[in-house]
């Protein structure tokens, strides 16, 4: 079964909009796990506009499922945080410091030497590594040479084109996943997956190990409730 990791960044965004500690991101993480989430994902950014570095330390004490920390390893503060916390998985994302949200994967050819070095830093600490990539066969093949354990397929293009032609929208991801499997890479996915497009994506890529979903899941929770919506997403998987 594909695991569902709930990204709680948007919970922190809501909290930060008013100050104080409501909603409490630690309690939300506890509840997500209680309601059936297989993991918790956070993506701290340098400006701490949603998840704060202090949140990550607090979360590390209460995660009983799987803890996944996303971020740009070219930020020394991020690398130090991950090595200190030692989550189950670190997902390396090539975000610019002021970027609103992730919008592209690594160029695993151009950045090959850098990725090999930084991946070994995390793997020596006993942390599983996933790298964020676009669904391009040559990029996925080059990812295998970096020493990463997994890739995370960036799924915005799939989500954007799903309603117009879902078979065409997923085709590149099927090819990329096949290359990943041939090279012994685990496959994760994330970005704009939701209750409409998730089941077809999973059916098309049976080897899918994990999805990380935040914005859509938190938005759906406004209507369906957090406990119910986690189960709705898990049924799609």
Question: Is residue 56 reached through a cis peptide bond, with omega within 30 degrees of 0 on the bond before it?
Answer: no
State yes or no: is 43 an active-site residue: yes
Its domain, for residue 37, covers 3-236
Output 97-104 pairs: Cβ under 8 A, ≥24 positions apart.
97/45, 97/46, 97/47, 97/72, 98/47, 99/45, 101/191, 102/43, 102/70, 102/132, 102/154, 102/191, 103/156, 104/134, 104/154
d(CA 3, CA 1): 6
Of residues 50, 66, 152, 191, which has the active-site annotation?
Answer: 191
Contact 143, 185 (CB under 8 A): yes
Per-residue pLDDT of the chain (237 residues; tens, 9 = 90+): 899 999 999 999 999 999 999 999 999 999 999 999 999 999 999 899 999 999 999 999 999 999 999 999 999 999 999 999 999 999 999 976 555 455 679 999 999 999 999 999 999 999 999 999 999 999 999 999 999 999 999 999 999 999 999 999 999 999 999 999 999 999 999 999 999 999 999 999 999 999 999 999 999 999 999 999 999 999 999
State yes or no: is 137 an active-site residue: no
Of residues 66, 70, 152, 210, which has the active-site annotation?
Answer: 70
Give the total residue count for the chain: 237
Of residues 43, 50, 66, 210, which has the active-site annotation?
Answer: 43
Torsion angle, CA of 73/83/78/146, rounded to 10 degrees?
A: 10
State yes or no: is 191 an active-site residue: yes
- How many domains does the chain contain in total? 1
Find the CATH number of the domain harbouring 182. Answer: 3.20.20.70
Distances (CA, A) of 114 to 93, 118, 143, 235: 13, 6, 12, 39
């Amino acid at each position: 079964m594909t695991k569902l990791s709930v990204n709680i960044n948007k919970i922190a965004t809501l909290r930060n909009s008013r100050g104080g500690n409501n909603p409490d991101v630690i309690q939300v993480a506890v509840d997500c796990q209680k309601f059936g989430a297989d993991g918790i994902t956070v993506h701290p950014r340098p400006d701490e506009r949603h998840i704060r570095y202090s949140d990550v330390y607090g979360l590390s004490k209460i995660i009983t499922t799987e803890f996944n920390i996303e971020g740009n390893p070219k930020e020394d503060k991020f690398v130090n945080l991950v090595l200190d916390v030692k989550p189950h998985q670190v997902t390396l994302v090539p975000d610019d410091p002021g970027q609103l949200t992730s919008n592209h994967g690594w160029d695993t050819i151009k950045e090959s030497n850098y990725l090999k070095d930084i991946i070994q830093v995390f793997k020596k600490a006993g942390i599983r590594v996933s790298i964020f990539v676009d669904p391009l066969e040559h990029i996925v093949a080059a990812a295998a040479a970096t020493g990463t354990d997994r890739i995370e397929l960036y799924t915005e293009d799939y989500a954007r084109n799903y309603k117009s032609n879902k078979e065409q929208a997923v085709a590149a991801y099927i090819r990329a996943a096949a290359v990943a499997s041939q090279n012994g890479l685990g496959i994760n996915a994330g970005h704009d997956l939701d209750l409409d497009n998730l089941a077809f994506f999973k059916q098309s890529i049976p080897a899918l190990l994990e999805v990380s979903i935040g914005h859509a899941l938190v938005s759906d929770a406004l209507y369906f409730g957090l406990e119910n919506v986690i189960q709705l997403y898990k049924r799609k998987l």
